[in-house]
């Protein structure tokens, strides 16, 4: 089981944004178990087309924050997306639930997966705040998050790569400590210069805890005083929390100006999160000792893994999966692939003709 997040010796909170939003956002307490206690995460929303496909977070009474890759291609048909607020489970009764249609989808103008993976959804009408529906505070642009800062990620995604969320589909929570961008860049060095300042990473070296298919767009939050602050938006992962590969999130604090340019009335509450830890990233260098190595793989095995992964991502299409050589991974409307010379790229392309190799 997981321990309740406790953060001590917090500095003075700096508030920005709408006074109403600042006064109401993010005052709640998590439950101690992986299954989220009712009302623990009142900003969490479930996005549906015909069924749940992504998460999101309520940021004021009419706007939801999510990942751009969740809503790519839907900007012209926003009414296809339904927002469920106050939902606890994907099956059965949800007496505290409110439902809204989406009337506007605004993705970041410079979105190109996995960079700037952020979008805002405007709901058809405002919602009233309750014990089960209330907005999250957002990390302000002056925030600093350092390695080891405890955080939590929530969602209705798979509990493992091939393990769907079991019935009745309850909202789950898991702790995932912040990983500095320097260390995260080292961890992802096999994929080139993937990690940048628009991203934040979180996870554990041993892996096994983090987001999976269906969690995309959901919030990564950390606590300061009695306020929960959204630090990230679920964006990508390797094999659903693979060891030595922290999951990647859009860094919310990078987008304060953009968010306020889209939401020009009743703006979200932004809070400056200041870590009380030392910045261990200052001492990180990408040496052989902190790079992940993989055992040799035959061409046949590589092809099988590549095809299996593409098959799975095509079926799910909920969370971009970054593949490690010699594997392929996918996300968004394109199947972004990372295959080395041991993989038959033609086979991958035949299986997924819309993919682009890098």
Q: Give percent helix, percent strand, percent coil of the chain, each to the nearest 5.
A: 20, 25, 55
**Catalytic residue from among 117, 149, 239, 332:** 117
Q: Is the separation of the CB atoms in 76 and 87 below 8 Å?
A: no
- Based on C-alpha coordinates, what's the Rg of the chain? 19
Contacts of 86 (CB under 8 A, 6+ apart): 42, 94, 96, 97, 98, 130, 132, 133
Strand-pairing partners, residue 178, are 202
Active-site residue, 215 included: no
Active-site residue, 340 included: no
Active-site residue, 239 included: no
Q: Is the separation of the CB atoms in 270 and 17 below 8 Å?
A: yes
Return d(Cα 176, Cα 292) in angstroms, integer. Answer: 20
**Token reading at 10:** 């917090």
**Catalytic residue from among 46, 57, 216, 235:** 216
Q: Is the separation of the CB atoms in 46 and 57 below 8 Å?
A: no
Instruction: Please state the φ and ψ torsions of residue 98, each to the nearest 5 degrees.
Output: -130, 140
**Catalytic residue from among 57, 69, 134, 253:** 69
CA angle, 46 as apex, 40 and 50 as ends, to 5°?
155
Active centre residues (catalytic): 69, 117, 216
């Amino acid at each position: 089981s997981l321990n309740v997040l406790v953060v001590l010796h917090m500095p003075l909170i700096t508030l920005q944004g709408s006074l109403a939003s600042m006064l109401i956002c993010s005052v709640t307490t998590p439950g101690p178990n992986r299954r989220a206690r009712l009302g623990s995460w009142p900003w969490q929303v479930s996005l549906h087309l015909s069924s749940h496909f992504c998460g999101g977070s309520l940021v004021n009474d009419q706007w939801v924050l999510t990942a751009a890759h969740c809503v790519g291609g839907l900007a012209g048909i926003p009414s296809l997306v339904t927002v469920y607020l106050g939902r606890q489970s994907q099956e059965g009764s949800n007496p505290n639930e409110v439902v809204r249609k989406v009337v506007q989808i605004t993705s970041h103008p410079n979105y190109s997966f996995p960079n700037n993976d952020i979008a805002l959804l405007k709901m058809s009408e405002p919602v009233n705040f309750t014990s089960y529906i209330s907005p999250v505070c957002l990390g302000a642009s002056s925030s600093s998050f350092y390695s080891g800062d405890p955080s939590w990620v929530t969602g209705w995604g798979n509990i493992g790569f091939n393990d769907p969320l079991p019935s009745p589909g309850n909202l789950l929570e898991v702790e995932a400590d912040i990983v500095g961008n320097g260390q995260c860049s080292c961890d992802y060095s096999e994929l080139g210069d993937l990690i940048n300042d628009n991203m934040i990473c979180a996870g554990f070296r041993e892996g096994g805890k983090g987001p999976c298919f269906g969690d995309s767009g959901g919030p990564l939050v950390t606590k300061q005083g009695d306020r929960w602050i959204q630090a990230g938006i679920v964006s990508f992962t390797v094999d659903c929390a693979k060891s030595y590969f922290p999951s990647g999130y859009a860094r919310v604090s990078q987008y304060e100006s953009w968010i306020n340019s889209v939401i020009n009335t009743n703006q979200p509450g932004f809070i400056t999160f200041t870590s009380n830890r030392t910045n261990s990233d200052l001492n990180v260098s990408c040496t052989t000792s902190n790079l992940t190595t993989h055992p040799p793989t035959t061409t046949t095995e590589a092809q099988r893994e590549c095809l299996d992964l593409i098959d799975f991502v095509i079926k799910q299409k909920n969370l971009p999966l970054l593949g490690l050589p010699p594997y392929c991974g996918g996300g968004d409307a394109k199947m972004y692939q990372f295959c080395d010379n041991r993989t038959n790229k033609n086979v991958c392309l035949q299986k997924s003709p819309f993919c682009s190799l890098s």
